[in-house]
């Protein structure tokens, strides 16, 4: 019953927050108006700039920002107890993450669909543009390489997900052709596509496909190669060919999966079969870093994530048809991601208690099940372990409504892999934009071509992926840096949004300024703790890269503060230059 109460309170809170605070930020702070022509309309090219219905662009934006983030982060963050994780997800989403995503989107809409890095040049100064691009390139390099590994790991853990995930691609291409070339009804045919998608899920449950070793390359390495090749082609195609229809299918798939989790929570909760077994607060688990500030770095997506600003100002701003759609797409998507994060918390704190099988095959229930998985940071950490806890807990909840655990496991495996695939597509496309911009600054002509820039993005990610051997998991050596770097990027994006709002006058800048200050403190604190840990462990590659990230963050914050507190005339002249 307690899981039901948590779910209802959270959902009502999000709905009220969107209708009150979200609309306040949209109307009063950013003054949205359809009289402002969007880049998708003024710069339409049929390739990247494409005016799109807000329902479709919501599907693209949400599935791009979600990925595995709102699953992995909360599934690991509950190690400190369910209450700190839930509070951060609720508060972070409403007053930080949604403002961050929405603000980055609006700024890009009013600046020709430019990236957050380019916008920083306008509102701060040219120096910050270059160093911002460096940290963005570094983050996207990790994202592209890591998400290839994530999908490969999911395929290895849940081979039943392989068939449905790959069949989704031709289904999406067919859906795009029907809607954009034949004028088909997008609602009707998307529903048909989702039904077809779930037919493949049933087939996958009975036809698991395991990748063998190929030419001495382990299964994960083979999958990473295939996925990077796929990412190359997916990111150079027009958005209407694959990106939009696939994301639209994924958004419907998400609705089905979330509906199953909600119904499962209600049925299992009211029947007494499920209760929250995790402790309320657990401040010092074995080997776990301190709750402050690491909770705010561990749980990124689902509360606030810097990667979202890259999506908002990278692909989404080039597709929004009317400026007022930005509230639903930007703020609404983040709130909906918070809803997903709450369901993840319920799955790994209550659903897991119904039954959990460890790696040795032993079965546990109740508090013992949760404790078995979360007994230490080493045992609970990592993408695979977080995914295992979520999939098992979710499958238990779905089983409460009569669906066999076998199907629940495949549904959630497909869910994770599909969303990771969407993030891989979008991140590769955004990295192409970044490479093209940096190549333009450096006067490197051939890299300004979208094919060459995309190839560069994919090849560099491949080099990182195979840096430690044929397994393709080389990017994991930089995984410890990802959380802090990602949250650092969120803080820097909030700094840019604050400077933008300050220029508009009044006290509107406090909406983003206070979250910016909080995130600057938390991420700087976390980066310093990480630096000390890397030095103690002698991981010198992490020491060097982490130190560079700290210096870049401090630099941009100082530049932002100088402009923020500088003379108004100088600030305005600099912004208009």
176-222 pLDDT, tens digit per residue, is: 888 878 788 777 888 888 889 889 988 988 888 888 988 889 998 99
Query: In the predicted model, what is the mean pLDDT of residues 156-176?
Result: 89
- Sequence-ordered alpha helix ranges (H) in 34-95: 39-42, 54-66, 69-77, 82-91
How high is the pLDDT of residue 66? 79
Q: What value does the mean pLDDT take over residues 531-560?
A: 85
What kind and span of H or E run contains 529?
helix 510-537
Q: What is the pLDDT of residue 11?
A: 95
pLDDT tens digit sequence for 363-420: 888 999 998 888 888 777 667 788 888 888 998 998 888 888 888 888 888 888 887 8
Sign of CA dihedral 258, 264, 270, 275: negative
The Cβ of residue 257 has, within 10 Å, a number of other Cβ atoms equal to: 23
3-state secondary structure of 158: coil
Is residue 569's pLDDT more than 60? no
**Residue of higher predicted confidence among 17 and 559:** 17
The yes-or-no verdict on residue 272 having pLDDT over 80 is yes
- What pLDDT does residue 576 have? 43
Beta-carbon contacts of residue 243 (< 8 Å; ≥ 6 apart)? 60, 234, 237, 315, 425, 426, 429
Mean pLDDT over 324-329 rounds to 95
Q: Who has greater pLDDT, 362 or 68?
A: 362
The confidence score (pLDDT) of residue 145 equals 85
Q: What is the mean pLDDT of the chain?
A: 87
Q: What is the pLDDT of residues 487-500, one digit of tens each?
A: 988 998 999 899 89
Q: Three-state SS across 319-379?
A: CECCCCHHHHHHHHHHHHHHHHHHHHHHHHHCHHHHCEECCCCCEECHHHHHHHHHCEHHH
Q: What is the pLDDT of residues 289-317, one digit of tens each?
A: 899 999 999 898 889 999 899 899 888 99
Burial 192-202 (b: 16+ CB within 10 A, else e): bbbeebeebbe
Nearest to 159 by CA among 199, 230, 113, 209: 209
Of 515, 490, 489, 496, the C-alpha closest to 96 is 515
Task: Band the pLDDT of 475: cuts 50, 70, 90.
Answer: confident
Residue 573: what pLDDT? 44
Q: Are 6 and 276 in contact (CB under 8 A)?
A: yes
In the chain, count H helices and then E strands.
26, 2
Residue of higher predicted confidence among 59 and 353: 353
Instruction: Scan for tokens 């809607």, then name that residue.
Output: 179
Q: Tell me the domains of the chain and their CATH numbers.
A: 2-576 (1.10.4160)
pLDDT of residue 552 exceeding 60? yes
Spatial contact of 177 and 510, defined as CB atoms under 8 Å apart: no
Closest CA to 155 of 208, 215, 233, 231: 208
Confidence of residue 1 (pLDDT cuts 50, 70, 90): low
Query: Helix (H, G, I), strand (E, B), or coil: what is residue 52?
Result: strand
* Alpha helices (H) along 110-242: 116-123, 126-157, 162-176, 186-206, 219-236
The Cα–Cα gap between 367 and 345 comes to 15
The pLDDT of residue 572 is above 50: no
Confidence check: pLDDT of 282 > 70: yes
Residues in the chain: 577
CA dihedral sign, ordered 68, 411, 377, 475: negative
CB neighbours of residue 315 within 10 Å? 26
Percent of the chain with pLDDT over 70: 97
pLDDT tens per residue across span 23-68: 999 999 999 999 999 999 999 888 788 898 888 888 888 888 877 7
Better-scored residue on pLDDT, 327 or 473: 327
């Amino acid at each position: 019953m307690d899981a039901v109460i948590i779910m209802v309170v959270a959902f009502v809170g999000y709905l009220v927050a969107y209708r009150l605070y979200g609309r306040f930020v949209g109307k009063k702070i950013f003054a949205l108006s359809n009289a402002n022509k969007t880049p998708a309309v003024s710069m339409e090219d049929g390739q990247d700039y494409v005016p799109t219905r807000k329902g479709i662009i919501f599907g693209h934006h949400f599935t791009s920002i979600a990925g595995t983030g709102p699953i992995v982060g909360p599934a690991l963050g509950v190690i400190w107890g369910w209450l700190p994780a839930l509070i951060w997800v609720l508060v972070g989403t409403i007053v930080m993450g949604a403002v961050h995503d929405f603000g980055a989107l609006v700024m890009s809409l009013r600046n020709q669909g430019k990236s957050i890095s380019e916008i920083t040049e306008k509102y701060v100064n040219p120096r910050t543009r270059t160093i911002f691009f460096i940290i963005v390139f570094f983050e996207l390099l990790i994202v592209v390489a890591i998400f290839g590994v994530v999908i490969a790991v999911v395929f290895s853990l849940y081979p039943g997900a392989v068939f449905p995930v790959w069949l989704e691609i031709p289904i999406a291409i067919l859906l795009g052709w029907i809607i954009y070339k034949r004028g088909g009804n997008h609602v009707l045919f998307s529903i048909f596509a989702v039904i077809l998608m779930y037919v493949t899920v049933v087939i996958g449950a009975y036809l698991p496909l395991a990748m063998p070793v190929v030419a001495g390359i382990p299964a994960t390495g083979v999958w990473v190669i295939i996925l990077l090749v796929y990412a190359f082609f997916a990111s150079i195609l027009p958005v209407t060919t694959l990106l939009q229809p696939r994301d639209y299918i994924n958004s419907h798939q998400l609705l089905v999966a979330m509906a199953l989790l909600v119904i499962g929570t209600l049925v299992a909760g009211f029947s007494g079969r499920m209760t929250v077994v995790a402790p309320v607060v657990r401040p010092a688990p074995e080997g776990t870093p301190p709750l402050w500030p690491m909770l705010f770095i561990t749980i990124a997506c689902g509360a606030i994530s810097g990667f979202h600003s890259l999506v908002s100002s990278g692909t989404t701003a080039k597709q929004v048809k009317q400026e007022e759609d930005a509230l639903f797409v930007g703020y609404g998507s983040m709130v909906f991601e918070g809803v997903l994060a709450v369901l993840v918390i319920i799955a790994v704190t209550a659903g897991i208690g119904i039954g959990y099988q460890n790696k040795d095959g032993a079965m546990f229930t109740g508090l013992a099940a949760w404790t078995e998985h979360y007994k230490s940071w080493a045992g609970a950490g990592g993408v695979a372990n977080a995914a295992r806890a979520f999939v098992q807990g979710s499958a238990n909840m779905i089983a409460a409504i009569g669906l066999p655990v076998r199907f629940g496991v495949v549904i959630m495996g497909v869910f994770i892999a599909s969303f990771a695939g969407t993030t891989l597509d979008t991140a590769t496309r955004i990295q192409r934009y970044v490479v093209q911009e940096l190549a333009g600054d450096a006067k490197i002509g051939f890299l300004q071509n979208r094919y060459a820039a995309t190839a560069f993005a994919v090849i560099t990610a491949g080099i990182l992926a195979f840096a430690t051997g044929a397994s393709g998991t080389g990017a994991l050596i930089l995984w410890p840096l990802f959380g802090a770097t990602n949250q650092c990027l969120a803080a820097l994006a909030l700094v840019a949004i604050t400077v933008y709002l300050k220029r508009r006058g009044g006290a509107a800048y406090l909406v983003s300024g206070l979250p910016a200050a909080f995130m600057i403190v938390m991420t700087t604190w976390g980066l310093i703790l990480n630096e000390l840990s890397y030095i103690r462990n002698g991981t010198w590659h992490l020491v060097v890269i982490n130190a560079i990230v700290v210096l870049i963050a401090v630099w941009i914050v100082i530049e932002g503060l100088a402009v923020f507190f500088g003379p108004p005339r100088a600030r305005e002249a600099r912004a208009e230059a």
